[in-house]
Amino acid sequence: MAIKGAVLGDILGSQYEFNRPKNLDWKNIPLIADGKAKFTDDSVMALAIKKALDESTDLVETMIAVGKRYPFCGYGAKFYWWINGKKHEPYNSWGNGSAMRVAYVGEYYDNYDEMQRMAKVTAAVSHNHPEGIKGSVVTATCIWMAKHDKSKQEIYDYVLSQYPKEEYEYSIAYSLDEIRSRYKWNESCQGSVPAAMRCFYESTDYESFIRNVFSLECDSDTFGAIAGGVAEEFYGGFGSVDAEGIFRKYLDDYLYEILMK
């Protein structure tokens, strides 16, 4: 399930979102360290969208209701006020929040057009900048492609068509070796989605995907949430990673129930 891949990526990536050691031994460190991991706003909003789709409830109302339960889970300032203010209107954001929360859309819809339409809808409630919408659509589409047995090369080619090398600083065309030394923490969709998908592209299983995320000084929980769903669908699970144990340990009962429903 892509939603599990996204939530796991968020939890594992949260360890190095901030205060990442300069010389992190990302190839050999334990995958999870006591006291560092947690769920963030990425999981909260991804699961809010899942709840809305599963229960056929209003999307915005559900995002607000779920979001208000976790006021300190890491929202950006504008999205915090989107949830807690009186008006819940889009604010032209190109931030990666639209991509981090869309995993279940790529999993839920078998119809390609419906999947893309709903990916736009889940973005546009707040992140209605063209890049915010694109980030959501690309993420959901990559998940959909992985679920429907498209090859890694086909997924790469699709992402490249949306983020060409000539126009995007962190296009998927650049290898991780090429961007490691120059990548800077970036909260935009255009600075996050193609690089996160490159982490998937260069992986061989879910764990190596996460370690690729660890290798960059990036918004690592969101990278995990963006491409974690693709990795889970493509590899058909988590391999030796104890995903269920991590979910049970790090999610509260409310979020765990939404995830497992």
54 known member of a binding site = no
Q: Cα–Cα distance between 25 and 85 in angstroms, integer?
A: 42
Would you report the helix, strand and coil content of the chain in percent, each value rounded to 5?
Answer: 60, 0, 40
222 known member of a binding site = yes
219 known member of a binding site = yes
C-alpha distances out from residue 149 to 76, 155, 207, 229, Å: 35, 10, 20, 14
149 known member of a binding site = no
40 known member of a binding site = yes
Beta-carbon-side half-sphere exposure of residue 80 (alpha carbons within 13 Å): 8
Looking up tokens 């973005």 gives 123
Feature table: binding site for Mg(2+):
40-42, 219, 221-222
Feature table: binding site:
40-42, 219, 221-222
